[in-house]
Structure 1
Amino acid sequence: MALPRRFLPPLSALTAFEAAARHQGFTAAAKELNISQAAVSRRVQLLEEILGLTLFERIRKRVVLTPAGAAYARELQEALGRIGTATVNTMAARGGNATLNIATLPTFGTRWLIPRLPDFAARHPQITINLPTRIESFDFTAEPLDAAISFGDPVWPGAVVERLIEEELVPVASKALLDRHRIRRPEDLFRIPLLQQSTRLSAWADWFAALEISCPPVPLGPRYGQFAMVVQAAVIGMGAAIVPRFLIEQELRDGSLVVPFPQSLGSKQAYCLFYPEARRNDPALRAFRDWLVEATRQQSRKLPEQRDGAASRRR
């Protein structure tokens, strides 16, 4: 719903205030905008009159944002940033190009998505993919995002959900660590630190429970915020980890990590693609969606082959 025009101050006043807030001064703002310092001051004063608020305090020849001014500046910077992004995208689309902002989980983006993006770029050279990272949920109406890749089943009103790939957690560790501690049975893992990912704190307990092994009711080992951290800690021998198999393909190939026991832990949840219902027929987004679904289906078909190959190497 459009706002009444009385709530939309002149753009010249908004840009003058945003520049002054960012530079914490009128002189630098005037240089950036190529206007006089007096003009910046007049435009900020006009904005203060419209708002009925004091945005800057004048202290000994300096201007300092008031609390209200600081809060308004933060929101205004985000809004002007979205306008700038929309403008760039529209100009790019004029030449047949398009830009997509796809939020993704950090480890999924780094370890799985980015290595496969050259294939997408070769198929769709006119589409640029930007990848901001997000861990927590967000609102498509409040952020300049075209789609998001997340884990689980969050409910986002007005969003289409495309299920991509299920998570299969496997225990891994460096071969040197396993040999040094003579890890021969799953129970032997209790002799070494069991590394944890902070959003999967029950993973080890669930894995041992599936094997009908009681897990000690104490913290198992260090916690890390991202799977990438857990994997790196396991590679350098800080402990054993339980991580999604598809995120450690390289480590399993080069031998820096091994799967000591074949039992894996499945999940009913999955990595999903979310995008606004209104964008369902957007050509660029549809191209990315189709490519991503195809790539994750290929990955799902590879998982049984990876398990069989690992079993053969153990034998």
Structure 2
Amino acid sequence: MRRKIPSNSALLAFEAAARHGSFARAADELALTEGAVSRQIGRLEAFLGVALFERVGNRVRLAPNGTRYSAQVREILNRLERDSLYLMGQPVEGASIEIAALPTFATRWLIPRLKRFQIKHPNVTVHIAERMDPFILPGSGFDAAIHFEHPAWAGMHQHRLLEEVLVPVCSPALFADAGANISLDELPRLHRLQNPNAWQLYAQEAGIVLSNSAVGARYDLHSMLIEAALAGLGVALVPRLYIGAELEQGRLIAPWPDGKAITKKFCLVLSDPIELSEAPLQAFAKWILDEARGLAP
């Protein structure tokens, strides 16, 4: 059965006219005459059986139905353009995979290692997008996800990668200015919004007293906490696996023990077993598991 969809030309003319609030400005953008834009919109209104614009003399304005429809059409056209540009950007010979990942894990652990994957698999392009929460992987547009182990991934194939072990760190300047004998309770502490009880749990595990474990600035991401600690704003509880370079360079110090009681486990989530996955995804999965295990050359 033939789809009841207006012509592309009519939709483009309507979206431009709705966005500009003017047939003339839409005509300039589309390199058409004002009359051509008016005719396209007239055909669209006839096709829909609905008036999209109110015409008052030589001026036009969106009708209520036109306001709603223009928002829907703009969203569809934007998505179509993004998808088209994505396909236009694909290598002629090669493949690509779409990976959803937690943002700080992607920027601090995954991306710095991707060059090694690229060298081994030069014809595979890895696209990475941020996803903070678990989601239904099949039909999402993603080939795999890198996230924490979670019941929401039930039915998916989860492969453990790394443990997120938190450690208190601060700028050496903050520690030096405060004096070597200062207690953790006397230093400003930084918090992550999604883990408000982290300092309380850490204090219980380490056997230290914090007079008010909730006091201190809060940040949304671990990457923000790391930058705040580097700036000397306080002590941050952050995953050790994100700050290896800063600790090695002496830009951050960790004079307190790791908080091993407050750990989470990262995993690679796939819809199918690795062996049944398509070759590019199979190559990526095997590579990242080797990286996590420290087996990669």
TM-score bracket relative to the smaller structure: 0.7 to 0.9
Instruction: Please give the secondary structure, in 2, of the residue aligned with 1:155.
Output: helix
Which has the higher mean CA deviation after the structures are superposed, 36-45 or 252-261? Answer: 36-45
Write 1 or 2 for the structure with the bigger share of helix. Answer: 1
Instruction: Report if the CA contact (8 A) 2:165-2:264 is conserved.
Output: no
By how many angstroms is 1:35 displaced?
4.9
Q: Counterpart in 2 of 1:283?
A: 279
Q: Counterpart in 2 of 1:121?
A: 118
Which of 87, 104, 109 in structure 1 is aligned with 2:106? 109
Instruction: Report if the CA contact (8 A) 2:24-2:34 is conserved.
Output: yes
Which of 256, 262, 269 in structure 2 is aligned with 1:261? 256
By how many angstroms is 1:209 displaced?
1.1
Q: Counterpart in 1 of 2:59?
A: 61
Give the letter for the 2:187 counterpart: I
In the TM superposition, 1:169-248 aligns within 5 A as: 169-184=166-181, 188-217=183-212, 219-248=214-243
Q: Give the whole-Å Cα distance in 2 for the aligned partners of 1:256 and 1:210.
A: 26
In the superposition, relative to structure 1, how do residues 49 and 155 fare at CA in structure 2: closer, same or farther (>3 Å)?
Answer: farther
Residue 155 in structure 1 maps to residue 155 in structure 2: no
RMSD of aligned alpha carbons: 3.4
Q: How many residues are matched?
A: 292
In the superposition, relative to structure 1, how do residues 45 and 270 fare at CA in structure 2: closer, same or farther (>3 Å)?
Answer: farther
Give the letter for the 2:71 counterpart: A
Q: Give the whole-Å Cα distance in 1 for the aligned partners of 2:218 and 2:155.
A: 35
Q: Counterpart in 1 of 2:81?
A: 81
Instruction: Report if the CA contact (8 A) 1:172-1:242 is conserved.
Output: yes
Identical pairs, percent: 37
By how many angstroms is 1:116 displaced?
1.0
Instruction: Report if the CA contact (8 A) 1:166-1:267 is conserved.
Output: no
Any unmatched runs of 5+ in structure 1? 302-315
Q: Counterpart in 2 of 1:251?
A: 246
In the superposition, relative to structure 1, how do residues 242 and 72 fare at CA in structure 2: closer, same or farther (>3 Å)?
Answer: same
Instruction: Report if the CA contact (8 A) 2:103-2:131 is conserved.
Output: yes
Instruction: Report if the CA contact (8 A) 1:18-1:76 is conserved.
Output: no
Q: Give the whole-Å Cα distance in 2 for the aligned partners of 1:219 and 1:17.
A: 54
Instruction: Report if the CA contact (8 A) 1:174-1:236 is conserved.
Output: yes
Q: Give the whole-Å Cα distance in 2 for the aligned partners of 1:33 and 1:276.
A: 43
Which has the higher mean CA deviation after the structures are superposed, 128-137 or 160-169? Answer: 128-137
Instruction: Report if the CA contact (8 A) 1:120-1:291 is conserved.
Output: yes
TM, length-normalised to structure 1? 0.76
By how many angstroms is 1:10 displaced?
3.8
CA deviations over 1:237-262 (Å, ceiling 9, x no partner): 11001100010111101101011112
Q: Give the whole-Å Cα distance in 2 for the aligned partners of 1:18 and 1:143.
A: 27
Q: Give the whole-Å Cα distance in 2 for the aligned partners of 1:39 and 1:206.
A: 68
Instruction: Report if the CA contact (8 A) 1:153-1:269 is conserved.
Output: no
Give the letter for the 1:284 counterpart: P
By how many angstroms is 1:181 displaced?
2.0
